[in-house]
């Protein structure tokens, strides 16, 4: 027995001696591994301050978000804030809790913008370019899964990009993820709305859907993030305080016999149809991207806001044609409002699969517990139908209207306006704008738009309602925006589908709609579009230059188009503006 024990000791000693050199050698870590580890730690340290832990105003539920501007604007998911109320509590990794208010929501794209309050120097995430993301790239998903971050320190998961340009069909017939990023980084309930960073610490997406449906409420290795480039398109829309909508072409496409992407259905009232697109045409490219599949078309269309004008190239009889198409709304206003009033689409408080407790049936008569907003911030929320928070829309309206007043103040010129000049072909004209009507004398012809009946018509014929459009223009410049039944800030878009970005104000009166465009670079008024009805052909008026007339800055020329066809160019030489007092004399 003693001999066996002694032999065992010898064998053990030999094994230990033999293993010592190997253990010593394995302790030397490759410097590249250490460098990669340090880079990860540095990136996490740099981006963590911008990650937001969101808690509902009632103390129930929550999710994640990410700060994107120093004055507190943050991105999250619509389904995170839909049941949280108008005001929320948000924690940062500095350990502090901040009040936050809802700004805008995008129910279709599952995006929302909130604003944290109390500072103007919040840490922010650096925006990346999601179009450069490739399969195999490293990705950090950060947030507040299972609402674990009670100390506001974000949970970080690390993985790779599993797919790009993914299309997720509408969930609940409404929510739709287009052109999104698929990752295997763990995305669990509560991660919703949190940031997805690339290896350089750049924000490339907002974490959204995980494949929970068939696997319970835990990560399944397939998570989806809304691309940051999609959100960039909606940036100013999300600051507008509105319930924003995504775009529709007014046509559907299908795969042709030769694997082409062909128009299978088209609405005659759509702008695409008016610009020349027909059944059977092949879509070659849209928004500058080539079309190779129906899925790709849905992906590209879904990342743009309703109302944007974008280039489309189609082929018919071997001939390519390029048109600029204004996209229409994907949903009706009532559908959007209904979605905005719903509770969370993915309730983060539902039991986990291993939770054996039976869920309680909620009392339908119980009053929801809602924490009242802080007194000093109450004014930051203004309810209005069609808006998530009308307060922010008012701020943008005031900002743009003030730019008009700063350049020229027409507020006391509410009487008759008389514009005289020449058309480019030499015919002299007189335009008279008054409360009762708009008159237009050009050459030997006279046209009149009465404003007393409330019925607006296409005068002169074939212009899309130029005289009615100029009536709207006078109301805008003279500060009479209260005469519009609806008036709001839309967001921003590329002017005429080109590169120049403009802020957009929209006014509606007796069914007619005007969209005014302000350059984001110098805030000058670049022109406006006018629609006699929602589905009528557009009367386009553009201003190239301004001049000083009667002490006021006023357009030198009015370039008028119907659709994309030039109608006339009016050179303005004189401007007479009457006040209401002048008219009483």
Q: Is 169 in a helix, a strand, or coil?
A: strand
How far is it, in rounded angstroms, from Cα 93 to Cα 192? 18
Q: How many CB atoms lie within 10 A of CB 442?
A: 17
Cβ(185)–Cβ(167) under 8 Å?
no
Residue closest to 133 by CA, chosen among 94, 113, 159, 162 = 162
The H or E element that residue 163 is part of is: strand 155-171
Say whether 559 sits in a helix, a strand or coil.
strand
Q: Which residues of 531-554 are buried (b: 16+ CB within 10 A; e: fewer)?
A: bbeeebbbbbbbbeebeebeebeb
What amino acid positions are annotated as catalytic residues? 79, 110, 192
Query: How far apart (Å, rounded) are the C-alpha atoms in residues 108 and 248?
Result: 12
Q: Give the separation between CA 515 and CA 507, rounded to whole angstroms.
A: 7
Q: Which candidate, 429, 427, 517, 511, places its Cα nearest to that of 473?
A: 517
DSSP structural state of residue 427: -
Contact 186, 141 (CB under 8 A): yes
CA distance 338 to 243: 11
Q: Report the DSSP beta bridge partners of residue 331.
A: none
Give the separation between CA 502 and CA 522, rounded to whole angstroms. Answer: 10
Query: What is the Cα–Cα distance from 126 to 50, expressed in whole angstroms?
Result: 9
133 burial level (CB within 10 Å; 0-12, 13-18, 19+): buried
| Closest to 182 in 3D by CA, of 192, 167, 169 | 167
* CA 233 vs CA 73, 236, 244, 493: distances in Å: 16, 8, 12, 8
């Amino acid at each position: 027995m003693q001999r066996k024990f002694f032999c065992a000791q010898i064998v053990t000693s030999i094994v230990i001696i033999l293993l010592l050199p190997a253990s010593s050698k394995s302790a030397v870590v490759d410097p590249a591994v250490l460098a990669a580890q340090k880079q990860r730690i540095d990136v996490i340290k740099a981006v963590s301050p911008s990650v937001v832990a969101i808690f509902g105003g009632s103390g129930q539920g929550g999710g994640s978000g990410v700060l994107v501007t120093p004055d507190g604007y943050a991105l999250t998911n619509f389904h995170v804030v839909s049941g949280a109320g108008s005001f929320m509590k948000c924690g940062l990794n500095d350990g502090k809790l901040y009040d936050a208010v809802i700004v805008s929501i995008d129910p279709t794209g599952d995006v929302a913008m909130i604003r944290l309050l109390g500072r103007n120097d919040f840490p922010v995430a650096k925006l990346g370019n999601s179009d450069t993301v490739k399969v195999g790239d490293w990705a950090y998903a950060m947030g507040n899964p299972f609402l674990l971050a009670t100390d506001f320190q974000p949970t970080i998961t690390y993985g790779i990009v599993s797919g790009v340009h993914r299309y997720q069909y509408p969930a609940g017939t409404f929510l739709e993820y287009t052109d999104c990023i698929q990752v295997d980084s763990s995305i669990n309930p509560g991660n919703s709305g949190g940031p997805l960073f690339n290896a350089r610490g750049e924000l490339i997406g907002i974490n959204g859907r995980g494949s929970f449906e068939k696997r319970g409420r835990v990560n399944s290795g397939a998570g989806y993030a809304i691309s940051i480039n999609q959100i960039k398109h909606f940036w100013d829309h999300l600051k507008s305080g509105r319930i924003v909508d995504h775009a529709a072409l007014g046509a559907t496409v299908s795969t042709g016999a030769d694997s082409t992407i062909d128009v299978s259905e088209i609405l005659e009232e759509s702008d695409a149809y008016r610009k020349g697109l027909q059944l059977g045409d092949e879509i070659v490219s849209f928004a500058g991207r080539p079309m190779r599949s129906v899925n790709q078309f849905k992906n590209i269309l879904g990342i743009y806001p309703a109302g944007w004008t974008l280039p489309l190239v189609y082929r018919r009889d071997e001939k390519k044609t390029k048109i600029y198409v204004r996209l229409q709304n994907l949903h009706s206003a009532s559908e959007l409002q209904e979605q905005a009033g719903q509770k969370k689409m993915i309730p983060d408080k539902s039991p986990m699969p291993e939770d054996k407790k039976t869920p309680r049936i909620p009392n339908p008569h119980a009053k929801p517990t809602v924490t009242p907003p802080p007194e000093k911030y109450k004014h930051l929320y203004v309810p209005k139908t069609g808006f998530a928070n009308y307060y922010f829309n008012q701020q943008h309206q005031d900002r743009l209207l003030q730019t008009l007043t700063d350049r020229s103040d027409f507020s006391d010129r509410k009487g008759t306006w008389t514009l005289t000049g020449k058309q480019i072909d030499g015919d002299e004209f007189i335009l008279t704008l008054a409360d009762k009507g708009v008159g237009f004398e050009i050459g030997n012809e006279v046209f009149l738009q009465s404003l007393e009946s409330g019925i607006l018509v296409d005068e002169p014929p074939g212009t899309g309602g130029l005289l009615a459009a100029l009536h709207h223009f006078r109301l805008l410049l003279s500060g009479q925006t209260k005469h519009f039944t609806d008036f709001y800030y839309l967001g921003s878009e590329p002017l005429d589908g080109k590169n120049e970005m403009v802020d957009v104000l929209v006014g509606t009166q007796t069914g007619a709609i005007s969209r005014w465009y302000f350059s984001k670079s110098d805030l000058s008024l670049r022109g406006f579009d006018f629609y006699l009805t929602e589905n009528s052909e557009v009367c386009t008026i553009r201003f190239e230059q301004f001049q000083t007339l009667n002490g006021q800055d006023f357009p030198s020329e009015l370039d008028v188009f119907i659709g994309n066809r030039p109608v006339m160019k009016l050179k303005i030489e004189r401007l007479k503006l009457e006040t209401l007092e002048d008219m009483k004399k």
